[in-house]
């Protein structure tokens, strides 16, 4: 069951990634080129029709995949860089370090990530780099909590004790003996961070506060199509479906039985 | 019992102060000048200085923080930069729609997830449907869900209003009709996450001896499920409700925008878009502090509802 979920996720994520990388070669049109054929429905030339500026929706979705994946992957890297060391330290050192770290982690986990992200991004400017940094910062406590829990679980295992017995220092034990053993689970958790980041960044764009136009971005495309739902529903529904299926892929990849 | 509540409160208050200090100092200290934000990048230095003096941004941060909190406690959040209206006056009429939306969303999510997971008649058909709905709830972003529902029920079928808000004065039927889609949008994610938690606990409870006794004495499957398993499995859902409030604030924000509901969320986004610093600072601080407070209350409720943890 678990493997089947991961396989479905892997297939979806691979397809989306391939399409994103190959976008410049497979997209039939330039994503920013406008034309006089506005609000057209799907046809042989425009597979998903055209938007309010006559741009090809299918091409824009392909290029939008790049934006989503870069933000998703970037945020996961940032969350990992902040969360993993804190989780490892809290789990291995325990006591005061652990208590302080957990206090902080629990406080941050309860906060509304989107609200926080909205304020910080408005203050610093909505560039891709800022969005990646902010979303990574909002997502780190989840990663830290998992790393801490896993470290805690294997801290007392025999091989760690052996490493300690031969005189291994704290840093050496954490890097050489604990990290390799929790790496896989942390990587799985990072897939859900990617899902969260794509979810949140597309919500930001939908609210008009994410990656600024004319960049082809899924959330922004949904936003601009809302007013034309009865004219050409593909303007909103097609990019919205792309967001949903991508999030679904990463979610399945990162799904764990609790 | 009482001493435990007092102890939790004493631990909770430093948390609230810590989070508000962190937020205030990051926003005002680390992220750049609010005056530059409000005036735009091409503002003259003189104009920026003037605005900083006018709003008191030139004072040390801790003075600004204490001043802000003191005034806020007295109901004064300053004036909107864009409209010069008092922030309180702009905020107050918007609280009710937001709270109503969030509350109804939570109630719908809790009841549907618990009831649908407890149904024993036709479980073979109900369970796969619940599973698919759960997957949709977790993976489809709020805005996409809202728009898809609008498209299906308003554009294609034409049976529900597309967006907007009917106040209570427009009649209760009209009011609720406008609320159906927004509430479903907000509830979808929680339907899924509560369902997951509830079903795990449900499975554990149904293996208990007293459930076997209930079956042995001849109760119907339905009666066993609803009267014996349900009350003993619902506690984790209550905890989950408490810890979901932060995400709920964000979800309601998006749903309000999709359906143009005049709530706190739409005021917040429009303040962000117009760089109206006093307004979004106030909403951000209130939201985040109230989330921490609600978590604390949920924690206390959990203690009150479960005698086992009162020992401590």
Please write the tens of the pLDDT for every residue from B235-267: 888 878 877 877 787 778 888 888 888 888 889
Asked if A111 contacts B291 with a C-beta cutoff of 8 angstroms, the reply is: yes
On chain A, the residues whose CB falls within 8 A of the CB of B27 are: 119-120, 123
Asked if residue B118 is part of any domain, the answer here is: yes
* B151, B246, B254 member nearest A203 (Cβ): B254
pLDDT at position B310 over 70: no
A131-168 pLDDT per residue, tens: 999 999 889 998 998 888 888 888 888 888 888 888 87
Highest mean pLDDT among A2-16, B20-34, B43-57, B120-134 belongs to A2-16
Per-residue tokens: A249: 């892929």
B90 CB near a chain A CB, below 8 Å?
A: no
Asked if residue B200 is part of any domain, the answer here is: yes
How close does chain A come to B253, measured CA to CA in Å?
A: 9
pLDDT computed for residue B311 by the predictor: 47
Single out the residue of B62, B78, B102 nearest to residue B281, CA to CA.
B78
As for how many domains chain B has, the answer is 1
3-class DSSP string for chain B? CHHHHHHHHHHHHHHHHHHHHHHHHHHHHHCCCHHHHHHCCCCCHHHHHHHHHHHCCCCCHHHHHHHHHHHHHCCCCCECCCCCCEHHHHHHHHHHHHHHHHHHHHHHHHHHHHHHHHCCCCHHHHHHHHHHHHHHHHHCCHHHHHHHHHHHHHHHCCCCCCCCCCCHHHCHHHHHHHHHHHHHHHHHHHHHHHHHHHHHHHHHHHCCHHHHHHHHCCCCHHHHHHHHHHHHHCHHHHHHHHHCHHHHHHHHHHHHHHCCCCCHHHHHHHHHHCCCHHHHHHHHHHHHHHHHHHHHHHHHHHHHHCHHHHCC
* A118, A230, A247 member nearest B141 (Cβ): A247
pLDDT computed for residue A77 by the predictor: 95
Residue with tokens 């860089």: A81
Interface probe for A, chosen from B26, B240, B250 (most Cβ of A below 10 Å), is B250
- Return the residue of B nearest to A241 by Cα: B144
A2-16+54-253 CATH fold:
MetI-like fold (1.10.3720)
- Domain locations in chain A? 2-16+54-253
DSSP tag of A145: H
- Mean predicted lDDT score pLDDT of chain B: 82
Distance of CA B33 to the CA centre of its chain: 30
- Return the residue of A nearest to B288 by Cα: A111
Single out the residue of A148, A149, A144, A113 nearest to residue A131, CA to CA.
A113
Asked if residue B292 is part of any domain, the answer here is: no
* Percent of chain B clearing pLDDT 70 (strictly above): 96
How close does chain B come to A172, measured CA to CA in Å?
A: 34
Q: Report which of residues B118 and A77 the model is more confident about.
A: A77
* B151, B196, B258 member nearest A233 (Cβ): B151
Question: Are B139 and A195 an interchain contact pair (Cβ–Cβ within 8 Å)?
Answer: yes
pLDDT computed for residue B34 by the predictor: 75
Domain that holds residue B185: 91-265+298-305
CB atoms within 10 A of CB A14: 11
Residues written for chain A = 258
B268 CB near a chain A CB, below 8 Å?
A: yes
- If DSSP codes are grouped into helix, strand and coil, which group holds residue B14? helix
pLDDT computed for residue B78 by the predictor: 80
The contacts of residue B169 (CB under 8 Å, 6+ apart) are none
B280 CB near a chain A CB, below 8 Å?
A: yes
How close does chain A come to B194, measured CA to CA in Å?
A: 14
Question: Are A258 and B275 an interchain contact pair (Cβ–Cβ within 8 Å)?
Answer: no
Interface probe for A, chosen from B25, B141, B270 (most Cβ of A below 10 Å), is B141
B19-61 pLDDT per residue, tens: 888 888 887 776 667 777 777 767 777 777 777 777 777 778 8
* A112, A202, A243 member nearest B249 (Cβ): A112
The DSSP bridge partners found for residue A56 are: A50
Asked if residue B190 is part of any domain, the answer here is: yes
A-B CB pairs within 8 A amount to 125
- Report how far residue A193's alpha carbon sits from residue A181's, in angstroms, rounded to the nearest whole number: 20
Question: Are A240 and B27 an interchain contact pair (Cβ–Cβ within 8 Å)?
Answer: no
Q: Which of residues 129-188 of B touch A (CB under 8 A)?
A: 135, 138-144, 147-148, 150-151, 155, 162
On chain A, the residues whose CB falls within 8 A of the CB of B268 are: 115, 118
Distances (CA, A) of A26 to A53, A56, B117: 21, 13, 45
Asked if residue B261 is part of any domain, the answer here is: yes
Q: What are phi and psi of A232, to 5 degrees?
A: -140, 90
Q: What are phi and psi of B86, to 5 degrees?
A: -65, 135
Burial-class residue B143 by CB neighbours within 10 Å (0-12, 13-18, 19+). buried
Q: Which residues of A122-149 are buried (b: 16+ CB within 10 A; e: fewer)?
A: bbbebebebbbbbbbbbbbbbbbbbbbe
Question: Are A206 and B27 an interchain contact pair (Cβ–Cβ within 8 Å)?
Answer: no
- Mean predicted lDDT score pLDDT of chain A: 85
DSSP tag of A139: H
Per-residue tokens: B94: 């918007």
Q: Which of residues 29-48 of B touch A (CB under 8 A)?
A: 31-32, 37
On chain B, the residues whose CB falls within 8 A of the CB of A124 are: 31-32
Asked if residue B222 is part of any domain, the answer here is: yes
Interface probe for B, chosen from A13, A115, A138 (most Cβ of B below 10 Å), is A115
Q: Give A81-127 as a DSSP string.
A: HHHHHHHHHHHHH-HHHHHHHHHHHHHHHHS-HHHHHHHHHHHH---
CB atoms within 10 A of CB B69: 15
B54-63 pLDDT per residue, tens: 777 777 888 8
Q: How much is the pTM? A: 0.86
Asked if residue B289 is part of any domain, the answer here is: no
Single out the residue of A64, A240, A68 nearest to residue B136, CA to CA.
A240
Task: Tell me the average pLDDT across B149-169.
Answer: 80
Q: ipTM score of the complex?
A: 0.83
pLDDT computed for residue B306 by the predictor: 67
- Return the residue of B nearest to A196 by Cα: B139
Sign of CA dihedral A122, A123, A125, A131: negative
Residue B108 maps to which CATH number? 1.10.3720.10
Sign of CA dihedral B1, B6, B9, B11: negative
């Amino acid at each position: 069951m678990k493997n089947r979920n991961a396989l479905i996720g892997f297939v979806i994520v691979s397809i989306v990634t391939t399409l994103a990388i190959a976008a410049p070669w497979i997209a039939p049109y330039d994503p920013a080129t406008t034309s006089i054929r506005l609000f057209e429905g799907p046809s042989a030339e425009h597979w998903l029709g055209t938007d309010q500026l006559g741009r090809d929706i299918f091409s824009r979705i392909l290029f939008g995949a790049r934006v989503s994946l870069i933000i998703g992957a970037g945020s996961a890297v940032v969350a990992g860089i902040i969360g993993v060391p804190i989780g490892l330290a809290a789990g291995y050192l325990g006591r005061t370090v652990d208590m302080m770290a957990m206090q902080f982690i629990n406080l941050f986990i309860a906060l509304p990530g989107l609200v926080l992200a909205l304020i910080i991004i408005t203050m610093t400017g909505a560039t891709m780099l800022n969005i990646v940094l902010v979303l990574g910062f909002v997502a780190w406590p989840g990663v830290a909590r998992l790393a801490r829990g896993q470290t805690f679980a294997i801290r007392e295992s025999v091989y760690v004790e052996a490493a300690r017995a031969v005189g291994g220092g704290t840093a050496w034990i954490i890097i050489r003996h604990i990290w390799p053993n929790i790496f896989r689970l942390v990587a799985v958790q990072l897939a859900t961070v990617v899902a969260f980041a794509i979810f949140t960044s597309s919500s930001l764009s939908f609210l008009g506060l994410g990656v600024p136009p004319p960049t082809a971005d899924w959330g922004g495309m949904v936003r601009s199509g809302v007013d034309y739902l009865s004219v050409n529903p593909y303007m909103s529904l097609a990019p919205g479906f792309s967001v949903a299926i991508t999030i679904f892929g990463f979610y399945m990849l990162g799904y764990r039985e609790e | 019992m009482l001493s435990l509540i007092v102890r939790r409160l004493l631990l909770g208050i430093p948390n609230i102060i810590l989070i508000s200090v962190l937020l205030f100092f990051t926003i005002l200290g680390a992220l750049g000048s609010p005056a530059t934000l409000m005036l735009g990048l091409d503002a003259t230095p003189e104009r920026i200085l003037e605005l900083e003096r006018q709003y008191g941004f030139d004072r040390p941060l801790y003075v600004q923080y204490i001043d802000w909190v003191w005034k806020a406690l007295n109901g004064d959040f300053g004036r909107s930069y864009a409209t010069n209206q008092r922030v309180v006056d702009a905020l107050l009429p918007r609280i009710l729609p937001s709270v109503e939306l969030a509350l109804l969303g939570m109630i719908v999510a809790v009841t549907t997830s618990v009831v649908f997971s407890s149904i024993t008649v036709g479980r073979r058909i109900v369970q796969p449907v619940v599973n698919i709905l759960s997957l949709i709830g977790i993976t489809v972003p709020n805005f996409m869900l809202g728009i898809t529902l609008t498209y299906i029920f308003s554009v294609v079928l034409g049976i529900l209003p597309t967006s907007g808000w009917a106040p209570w004065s427009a009649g209760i039927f009209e009011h609720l009709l406008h609320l159906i889609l927004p509430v479903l949008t907000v509830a979808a994610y929680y339907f899924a996450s509560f369902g997951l938690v509830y079903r795990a606990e449900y499975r554990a409870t149904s293996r208990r001896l007293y459930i076997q006794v209930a079956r042995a004495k001849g109760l119907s499957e339905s009666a066993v499920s609803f009267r014996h398993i349900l009350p003993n499995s619902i506690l984790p859902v209550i905890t989950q409700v408490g810890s979901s409030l932060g995400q709920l604030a964000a979800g309601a924000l998006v749903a309000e925008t999709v359906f143009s509901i005049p709530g706190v969320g739409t005021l917040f986004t429009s303040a962000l878009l117009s760089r109206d610093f006093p307004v979004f600072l106030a909403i951000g601080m209130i939201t985040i502090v109230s989330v921490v407070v609600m978590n604390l209350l949920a924690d206390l409720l959990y203690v009150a509802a479960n005698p086992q943890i009162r020992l401590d």
